Amino acid sequence: MKKTHVIQGTLWVFIYLVLVSAPLVVLLIGRVPEGREFWRELSVALGFAGLAMMALQFVLTARFKWLKAPYGADIVYHFHRQISFVALLLILAHPLLLFVFSPQTLALLNLFSAPWRARAGVTAVILLLALIGASVWRKPLKIEYTNWRIWHGILATLVIALAITHVVLARHYLNTPWKQALWVTYGVFWVGLLIYVRILKPILLLRRPYEVESVTPERGNAWSLTVRPVGHAGMKFMPGQFAWITVLSSPFAEAEHPFSFSSSASQLAPLTFTIKELGDFTRQIKTLQPGQKVYVDGPFGHFSIDRHTHAEQFVFIAGGVGITPTMSMLRTMADRGDRRPVTLLYANKDWDSVIFREELDALKDRLNLNLVHVLEKPSTDWNGETGFVTRAVLGRHLPKASQPNSVEIFICGPQPMINAVENALTQLGVPFGDFHSERFDLV
């Protein structure tokens, strides 16, 4: 990782901690309401911290490139998911402490008789539980992705709006200009983010449209979607990055999906995304016709050889359609005339499922490429690696590093495969900083 990214990453962590703790600091400034016990003040402090975390969730999902640059989008989204549980626990601690030390406050749970401040707070907690529950169990509950995104945004907005209403109506901690200014600032900040994400960003995308140039069938039930910019030069990206694409809809609709570039980064246009047919949206890719409008929001991600220019050689470990970002990096290296040694271990179910099979063979003439196929169910005459990418397979094919950071390893594929490969690399003594994973579980 570049030194500038380390500095940026440390700075954003510091700013995040300041914003989360700001309500607690301001809470102590000025006159504190009289006759309030320590546990009551503690419950309020925990609630404030949880609310600040929830408000900042909008920042984490707003796709600010300068925010994600030090970490990568997958890390930021993973943090977004995990910190949601921390915020939930802090917010739940607020009423639970009240109920334990002051049982009469249980009456505030009655939405028909409780004061409006309590109604707003209780409703916010109920909606927050629904929000997190629907996100955690979206796949088991078979909630369609686009519908989930729409309701995720609606519920998140209602939670923050009702929580701030609860704070304002309670008024215990709005008794000084400092405290009023803090919550006004949080409110304006939150509304500004909504305007940017829901209005300004879609308008910007509308002004830089793309159109379908071709849809090409690939092996493994995948399709390569090639799009060309309309009225602009195109998009510069690093090989291995991804973008959110919207087809058959407007950027104002919650109908965008993340896909890696498979085309070479040496050209701004056209752009190609190779997409495996796995669900409702991906089934539509093959039906797209030349000339149809497409909107591309990107690039995003840190999974790229361009972030490791110091490397003497690279290892790519891909499973199935996880070859897509690797293909972008291989094509880019070939276009640049990059002759650094490359080892590709590519796992698939069978020989007919190997996406880009013929092109990968052809790339051996343009690259210093050692190509190793690993098949789960090979034919009887197969002489290559079989089963999965295990520690033994890695031990046979990983190049020896002359020194730390000289060999950079990139892993992309199904999550079970990534977990197994990471564990195997650790057992083989590969330094943690020398391998990088693209889990692509952003939603």
Residue range 255-298, pLDDT digits in tens: 788 999 999 999 888 999 999 988 778 888 999 999 999 999 98
Residue 36 pLDDT: 65
Q: How far is CA 250 from CA 146, 204, 360, in A?
A: 13, 12, 36
Domains of the chain: 3-205 (1.20.120), 210-300 (2.40.30.10), 305-438 (3.40.50.80)
pLDDT recorded at residue 315: 96
The answer to whether the CB of 212 falls within 8 A of the CB of 227 is yes
Position 136: which residue type? Answer: V
pLDDT single digits (tens) 312-331: 999 999 999 999 999 999 99
Asked if the model's pLDDT at residue 253 lies above 60, the reply is yes
pLDDT at 283: 87
More confident residue, 173 or 434: 434
Asked if residue 333 has pLDDT above 80, the reply is yes
Model confidence band, residue 69 (pLDDT cutoffs 50, 70, 90):
low
Query: pLDDT value at position 290?
Result: 95
Residue 439's nearest CA partner among 403, 421, 413 is 413
Structure tokens at 226: 């090639």
Which pLDDT score is estimated for 30?
58
Tell me what the pLDDT averaged over the chain comes to: 87
pLDDT of residue 91: 93
pLDDT tops 80 at residue 23:
no
Q: Above 60 in pLDDT, residue 441?
A: no
22 pLDDT band, cuts 50/70/90, is: confident
